[in-house]
Amino acid sequence: MKILVINAGSSSLKYQLLDMTSKDDLASGIVERIGEDMGTMTYKTDGKEVFEKPFPTHKEAMVEVINILTDADKGVVKDKAEIAAIGHRVVHGGETFTEPAEVDAKVIEGIKANIPLAPLHNPGNLTGIETAMELFPGVRQVAVFDTAFHQTMEPKVFTYGIPYEMYEKFGIRRYGFHGTSHKFVARETAKLLGKPLEECNIVTVHLGNGGSLAAVKNGKCYDTSMGMTPLAGIIMGTRCGDIDPAIVGVLAEKLGTDVAGVEKVLTNDSGLKGICGSNDLRDIHARIEEGDKQAELALDMACHKVRQFIGSYCFELGKVDCIVFTAGIGENDPEYRARTLSGLESFGISVNNDKNWNWDRTPSFISDDDSAVKVAIIATNEELEIANDTVAVLGL
């Protein structure tokens, strides 16, 4: 059975076709700069292929994806009818969606109703769904929400200390994101621990260009570092993470801009990039090697913040079975992992130097055998999780 996973942004369309028997990635790619004069299609066949052409709307982009998937020479399916179902990533499900949902008129209305909570993301996700419905008539579609896994948080955890009617009227509260990744990694960690997920307390540490942590209590999300938007929490590639909210007003005044202008600074020019000019850890490490103090500060700050969150989540959970790292930085940066968890032996957290520096890319522990709290690395696979959810929701 083949499942197509779609992640549509406002000007991009990412796809992956998965074989659900082998769990193999059969084909994947991304169309970028949809709606601009010239767009780019990047996709994988034997190697990486890239070509440019205009994609006026998501429809032209998706037609191109279908053409590539069904190409007589290099395609992986003979006919698009081989695709059993389509799973869509949707960023914000608000309080409406606590689970993935099969797309119907009501679900589309629900995604639309949550646009005010994610004005930059949900409209693109919706366009992806509507385009897929048009081009794959009769194929069942499932929406998988980034926020859904976190809907088990209690009011004391998700409510902000602002007038309560702001929550009641506008839905302002913590929602959390990367839920698909946190859920996938938590479940894989439980397998590694050899216990049912419902009996596991886990701190999931998703560190990519964007990043967030979740405290998972008895298999369910108890707390997470992102907030109403993905701007909150740890210091990310270009996003500031948690800051004093009064800074927004101060910056608007100092920069002579409006709130939207400040938000742009906090979203695109902050985080690691804002501190040292680079948001890629590979560059940052190379610069630290050369004695670059600003790069050192950026790495120090980022690790400090992640360490703070891990510490607070360990206290919130009381007892922790495992701290698990995932995503671009979490999987690839032993130095980052070592810094965030160094010197915590008295709390029962003991990272094994050898295992940390020589992780073999299989889901495994990198802690010492006698570490009371295990530490693991598990590569995340959000596309596979969306495909799994799609199969589960449709009962295929």
By the criterion CB under 6 A, which residues form the site for ligand AMP? 208-209, 237, 279-282, 327-329, 332-333
**Contact between 85 and 142 (Cβ < 8 Å):** yes
SS3 state at 94:
coil
The minimum distance between CB 34 and ligand AMP, in angstroms, equals 21
The minimum distance between CB 205 and ligand AMP, in angstroms, equals 12
SS3 state at 42:
strand
Residue 217, both tokens: 């209590």
Q: Which residue number, 2 or 89, has a Cβ lying nearer to ligand AMP?
A: 89
Q: Which residue number, 91 or 172, has a Cβ lying nearer to ligand AMP?
A: 91
DSSP-assigned letters across all residues of 129-171:
HHHHHHHSTT-EEEEEETTGGGGG--HHHH--SS-HHHHHHH-
Could you give the residue numbers annotated as active site? Answer: 146
**What's the rounded Cα separation, in Å, for the pair 114 and 136?**
25
DSSP-assigned letters across all residues of 269-320:
S-HHHHHHS---HHHHHHHHHTT-HHHHHHHHHHHHHHHHHHHHHHHHHSS-
Nearest to 98 by CA among 142, 151, 177: 151
Q: Which residue number, 75 or 208, has a Cβ lying nearer to ligand AMP?
A: 208
The minimum distance between CB 302 and ligand AMP, in angstroms, equals 10
The minimum distance between CB 271 and ligand AMP, in angstroms, equals 10
- Position of minimal CB gap to ligand AMP: 328
**Contact between 340 and 323 (Cβ < 8 Å):** no
HSE-CB of 73 using CA atoms within 13 angstroms: 2
The minimum distance between CB 173 and ligand AMP, in angstroms, equals 25
Q: Which residue number, 209 or 312, has a Cβ lying nearer to ligand AMP?
A: 209
Single-letter residue type at 268: N
DSSP-assigned letters across all residues of 311-351:
HHHHHHHSS-SEEEEEHHHHHH-HHHHHHHTTT-GGGTB-B
Q: Which helix (H) or strand (E) holds 89?
A: strand 83-90
Single-letter residue type at 286: A
Q: Which residue number, 150 or 206, has a Cβ lying nearer to ligand AMP?
A: 206
The minimum distance between CB 191 and ligand AMP, in angstroms, equals 22
Residue 86, both tokens: 């389509």
The minimum distance between CB 253 and ligand AMP, in angstroms, equals 32
Q: Which helix (H) or strand (E) holds 258?
A: none
In 153-289, which residue ranges form alpha helices assigned H by DSSP? Answer: 155-158, 164-170, 179-193, 246-255, 259-268, 271-276, 281-289
Nearest to 385 by CA among 187, 216, 131: 187
Q: Which residue number, 101 or 281, has a Cβ lying nearer to ligand AMP?
A: 281
Q: Which residue number, 151 or 340, has a Cβ lying nearer to ligand AMP?
A: 340
**Contact between 287 and 278 (Cβ < 8 Å):** yes
Q: Which residue number, 3 or 272, has a Cβ lying nearer to ligand AMP?
A: 272
The minimum distance between CB 330 and ligand AMP, in angstroms, equals 8
